[in-house]
Every structure is written in structure tokens, then in C-alpha cells.
Amino acid sequence: MPQSSKHMDINDNHFVITALKASDEKVFEAVYRHYFRSLCGFCSQYVSEQEEIEEIVQDTLVWLWENRSSLVEELTLKTLLFTIVKNKALNRISHFEVRRRVYQIISEKYEREFSNPNFYLENELLQLYEEALAKLPKEFREAYEMNRTQRLTHKEIASKLNVSPQTINYRIGQALKLLRIALKDYLPLFVFCFGPTFLKQ
């Protein structure tokens, strides 16, 4: 007698694959919940940004659902998911390295013409950064600038603004998140010019 999704065994590969191919959404939700954290932990071996890690894992699980009809029972689902996550992470790293190399070539080219090859690029990036900063909600921008410009700790900022340190942590985190979204097309350039800790909490 076949198992119901209510009493399913997530390790029963035959049942899970069969249910997915039959478009059983409850089984897919169970697979999602069961594998999400472990896939994120595995992906963190290759990618450091939590937001990027979760994006890779979510893309993998969405791929599983969209391609459920082509799944084969002979292939272990766990192996499939971890393999896809690894490949997506490596592709992401490879893409970043290609872009970084392009920027390096550009820099080397202009080094022969300018005493400071990064001067113009840095100025343009800083202008983009200032524009993105100016668009932040006032409370987020205020906490962020007190931390980054005045070098105040979260506790010191909280005391000045009469709020909790947790509130300051949230505001700075949201400021960084919004800045990364606004500058997402330029992040490799920011890393190249200002270092890997730029726009990190």
C-alpha cells in the first residue's frame, strides 16, 4: 500500500520521486523544509554571502519542482540536490572571477597612462554609492553612517538615539541590504577597489 504524504518517509527515494513526478505539492514542501538548511550549509563551503547562498539553494529547489517530470527513481534525490547546488555555486564563483579578471585587465591597461589607474573608477563608484546612500530611509542611513563614518559601536549609537542595540543592528543590516541591492551590478568593482569587506556588516 503506497504511503500518504502525511506519513511519508523523506528518505524513501522511490516514494518521494514518484510523488514529485505526480506534482504532489505537500511532498515538495516536505523536501524543501528537509533539505533547505543542509543545502545552505553545504553551499557555504563555496559562497560566503548568506543572501547569495539562500538564492542558490532556492534556485535549486525551484529547478527540482519545474523539472519534476524528468526525474528518475534510480537517481538519489539527495545526491541530485547537493550536486546541483555545488555546480551553481562553482558557476557563480567562476562568473565572479571572470568579471574580476576583466576589471584587472582594464586597470593594467590604464596603468600605463595614469599615475593612479583606479582614481577615475573609484570616484565614479563613490558617486554611485553616495546616490544609493541618499535614497535610504532616514533611520537606516543615520544608524549606518554613525557606524561607518563616526566609527561608533551599535551600543553607542543606541544610546545616542535612545533605542535598543538590536534596533540599531536591524537598521544597519537593512541599510546594507538596500545598498547591496541598489549597487548589485557594481559589487565586484567595489570589492576590487575597496576590498572584500565593503558593504558587509
Q: Which of 133, 139, 136, 165 is nearest to 152 (CA)?
A: 165
Per-residue confidence band for 174, with pLDDT thresholds at 50, 70 and 90: very high
Per-residue confidence band for 149, with pLDDT thresholds at 50, 70 and 90: confident
pLDDT for position 113: 47
Read off the CATH number of the domain in which 85 is found.
1.10.1740.10
Per-residue pLDDT at 23 exceeds 70: yes
Please identify which residue in the block is written with the cell numbers 533547505. 36
Residues 10 and 86 in one domain: yes
Asked if 85 contacts 43 with a C-beta cutoff of 8 angstroms, the reply is yes
pLDDT for position 94: 65
The total number of structural domains that make up the chain: 2
Residues 123 and 185 in one domain: yes
- For residue 146, being part of any structural domain is answered with yes
- For residue 201, being part of any structural domain is answered with no
- For residue 189, being part of any structural domain is answered with yes
Residue where a domain terminates, one of 43, 61, 95: 95
pLDDT tens figures, 85-142: 988 888 877 656 655 555 555 555 555 544 444 555 567 778 888 899 999 999 999 9
- For residue 103, being part of any structural domain is answered with no
Residues 79 and 139 in one domain: no
Residues 90 and 122 in one domain: no
Read off the CATH number of the domain in which 184 is found.
1.10.10.10
- For residue 86, being part of any structural domain is answered with yes
| Domain around 20 | 5-95
DSSP 65-103: HHTGGG--TTS-HHHHHHHHHHHHHHHHHHHHHHHHHHH
Is this structure's pTM higher than 0.85?
A: no
- For residue 112, being part of any structural domain is answered with no
Residue where a domain terminates, one of 64, 95, 126: 95
Residues 76 and 17 in one domain: yes
pLDDT tens figures, 27-48: 999 999 999 999 999 888 888 8
Name the 3-class secondary structure at 64.
helix
Looking at per-residue pLDDT, the higher value among 97 and 200 belongs to: 200
Per-residue pLDDT at 21 exceeds 60: yes
Residues 27 and 90 in one domain: yes
Share of the chain above pLDDT 70, in %: 78
Give CA–CA dist 67/70, Å, rounded: 6
- C-alpha cell at position 83: 550536486
φ, ψ dihedrals at 111, nearest 5°: -65, -30
Residues 58 and 127 in one domain: no
Residues 18 and 73 in one domain: yes
For 113-146, b/e burial (b = at least 16 CB within 10 A) is: eeeebbeebbeebeebbeebbeebeebbbbbbbb
Residues 126 and 167 in one domain: yes
Q: What is the mean pLDDT of the chain?
A: 81
